[in-house]
A and B are shown apart, each in its own frame.
Chain A
């Protein structure tokens, strides 16, 4: 019983991390049809800014967290302005490849600017403090991951339903031109989408680094891959699908950790991808996705 509860929270918190990343990907994709492969590098941006702050003596956690979030948001908006705006009207593959390029650039900026080797970032390690509730043992981080993600999702839903910009973003997912005919600036809608995706990635970065305690230039690669998989699993571009996909992925990973014998532990990621490939054979459009119709905006 105790074991089950602990593992359930573990699955939920890991799934929450993937959901945060996947949501950011899905928001940008739904609004402008861009598959932002560089999304994972937002984790790196968050991580390296934490590292830099600690290096220069600004190690207070209440300073680090807001600065980390802000930096990631600014990076996201800047990237849109510099790299993605020129390919806005281009086919999806062009945007995807541009994003690959951006990812490679950021990785190597980290590499050249700091080091090719992993660096310890103990700044947010306090989040790993364990708490005992009755006979159960959890970390603060697990609660935060699950709780903060839930709050972020609720806020996002409110934003998308209650604000004009949120409405415009939802509308743009189907028909961007007509949104412009309402006088809503395309640039503003897209910049907002990037800012939100950056904010969610910033949160994910904090959790990610608290969990692992270290950064390296290529740390974003596997998480973004999993976030992509979460998106595909849920139905690409669907926001609820991204959340569901992330959670399913988290559960799957924890189940595999439990089930896979030790000598196969290294194949966990491979196994996760394999299972998801199998799911997609049955449902190519994802769990929540609808079958594409002629003329739909597809990836």
Chain B
């Protein structure tokens, strides 16, 4: 579904991603791991078109999308929940969700999806008329995920969905994420919380200082203490 081929990303003279290749197949959950400043967000930004690709190609459903702007990529079915959530604080939960479905023309479908997701995330129904800024961190993360889902994406990319959330909430969020696969979604999840991410991912990539350090199945990484230690660090046991 998504092919990233030898992509590099530059910020001025600084190269944040060095010729990285990765792929995501339909129906898969792939996780992209790595320490702070590894270039994970830059990679997602390049895929969605917020930063230009300096070298290499991004292919989605067999078509080169290098030259498409962000809006067109979203229209093709890629979407991302940005790092730090970026809920529209001055809009209500309802308005956030309507805006999430901005590209869709099928009003019935939107209404149906809205009901489905509100059933899945009942807390959002409770907060429906509240402003996005008044939600708690975990609630905002759910809102950001549902907002992205409302566009009816084929590929959903999540940038550190567990960032700054309490462990129980993290559990909850990850459960919801793995449930999304059953809705026919393909996921690319950026995480620093490797242990949790590897529980539900099929495959994993590890970035470090802009270089691809590991590519393989989540199983491999999970079961090999050495690999974990080498790439994810001492913090995990």
A residues neighboring B (CB under 8 Å): 164, 167-168, 170-171, 173-175, 177-186
Contacts of B38 in A (CB 8 A): none
Q: A181-B48, A182-B151 are in contact. Are A167 and B98 (CB under 8 A)?
A: yes
A168 to B98, CA, bound (A): 10
Q: Is the interface of A mostly helix, strand, loop or mixed?
A: helix
Are A182's CB and B82's CB within 8 A?
no
Contacts of A167 in B (CB 8 A): 91, 95, 98-99, 102
B90, CB-defined interface residue at 8 Å: yes
A120 to B4, CA, bound (A): 65
B57, CB-defined interface residue at 8 Å: no
Are B71's CB and A178's CB within 8 A?
no
Are A183's CB and B71's CB within 8 A?
yes
Contacts of B147 in A (CB 8 A): 182
B88, CB-defined interface residue at 8 Å: yes
Query: Apart from A167-B99, A171-B95, A181-B80, what 18 extra A-B contacts exist at CB < 8 Å?
Result: A167-B102, A170-B90, A171-B88, A173-B90, A174-B89, A174-B90, A175-B88, A177-B50, A177-B86, A178-B86, A178-B88, A179-B99, A181-B82, A182-B74, A182-B99, A182-B103, A183-B102, A185-B71
Are A181's CB and B79's CB within 8 A?
yes
Are B74's CB and A183's CB within 8 A?
yes
Contacts of B148 in A (CB 8 A): 181
Contacts of B99 in A (CB 8 A): 164, 167-168, 171, 179, 182, 184
Are B74's CB and A181's CB within 8 A?
yes
B100, CB-defined interface residue at 8 Å: yes
A206 to B2, CA, bound (A): 55
Are B50's CB and A171's CB within 8 A?
no
B75, CB-defined interface residue at 8 Å: yes
Are A184's CB and B102's CB within 8 A?
yes
A179 to B75, CA, bound (A): 13
B70, CB-defined interface residue at 8 Å: yes
* 0/1 string, B45-74, CB within 8 A of A gives 1: 000101000000000000000000011001
Contacts of A178 in B (CB 8 A): 82, 86, 88
A179 to B88, CA, bound (A): 9
A178 to B82, CA, bound (A): 8
Give A296 Cβ to nearest chain B Cβ, in Å. Answer: 12
A179 to B95, CA, bound (A): 12
